[in-house]
A = this chain, B = another copy of it.
Amino acid sequence: MELTVLAGGVGAARFLDGLVRVVPPESVTVVGNVADDLEILGLHVSPDLDTVVYTLAGVVEPERGWGLAGDTAGALAVASQLGGDDWFHLSDGDIGLHLVRTERLRRGEPLSAVMRDVAERFGLSIRLLPATDDPVRTFVTTEAGELDFQTYFVRRRHEDEALAVRYAGAEDARPAPGVLEALAGADAVVVAPSNPFLSIEPILAVPGIRRTIAARNGPVVAVSPIVAGRAIKGPADRMLRSLAGEASARAVAGRYSDFLTHMLVDLADAEDVPALEALGLRAAAGPTLMATVEGRIAVARETLRLVDILST
């Protein structure tokens, strides 16, 4: 049994943390978002991939859901004192990873090769693939103009209304080795509960990925990142309202209408199930909150039950 998961950052990492407790981690391939990667202080930072690694390795800062637990920040303090960029949080252990990644990328190694080693050295048994080894970067159009992702998200705290989203470089990007095979061959493809615009669609924008998923015969199941009209974290609800008319599981399903077959919504949104089924989906309401390990396991179980991979 093979599962392939399209994944953004914190929400996806928590979902995966449940999933690997329900199925053998070796059976899971993650196709991760790289469109929020950035270069800062000369370091190549891959926030979403690192969040997946830290979470599955059990070293993530648990409340925030990203970064290393208990890490110091001495490097950033000195860099700041010297006038270096200090608006993006970089803790010291984190910088150790960024240094190794950046050096290997500069030598010409692809990101996928670097992250395979990083995942292995952090003791992970899942397969972690960036959607692409090529540079794809998200830009968000706001009333303040078009902003690069981290300016929109971190510097301006995603407070601007998103009027449009663009994935620069996507048209020229190629899927990383193994991505299309993992999407075509999986028993199920799972769209993790991540922001459609900022996490999932930049993956789908890499030529070949969306088409490969749409061409599947097997199930493609999404876990709704919206609970009772609100995102658990981040601006997904506001972006869905401004870019898709409403913040709901149905609006999320609408973003994936060309390939989605199943959808898990939160118990609070059980009333959406008939509408989703009217769209031709198989849908179910279940727990989707993942603050605890038990919650994460429950979400993973419900997701797999919905696509008949788990029967109990």
Contacts and interface: CB of A to CB of B under 8 A. Distances in A.
A117 B42 contact: no
Interface in A57-82: 68, 71-82
B103 A75 contact: no
A84 B72 contact: no
A43 interface: yes
A310 interface: no
Contacts of A121: 81-83
A79 B95 CA distance: 8
Contact of A95 (B68, B75, B97, B122): B75
15 contacts: A42-B99, A42-B102, A42-B103, A72-B92, A74-B93, A75-B92, A75-B95, A76-B96, A77-B96, A78-B94, A78-B95, A78-B97, A79-B96, A83-B100, A95-B95
Given A43-B99, A103-B42, A117 B83 contact: yes
A100 B84 contact: yes
Contacts of A100: 41, 78-79, 82-84
Contacts of A79: 96-97, 99-100
Interface in A240-278: none
B42 A82 contact: no
Nearest to A71: B74
Contacts of A117: 82-83
A91 interface: yes
Interface residues of A, number: 34
Interface of A: 41-43, 68, 71-84, 91-97, 99-100, 102-103, 106, 117-118, 121-122
Contacts of A96: 74-82, 84
Given A72-B74, A76-B96, A82-B96, 5 more contacts: A42-B99, A74-B95, A78-B95, A81-B122, A84-B103
A244 to B, nearest CB: 39
Nearest to A78: B96
Contacts of A81: 96, 121-122
Contact of A74 (B84, B92, B102, B106): B92
A69 to B, nearest CB: 12
Given A42-B106, A43-B99, A102-B42, A118 B75 contact: no
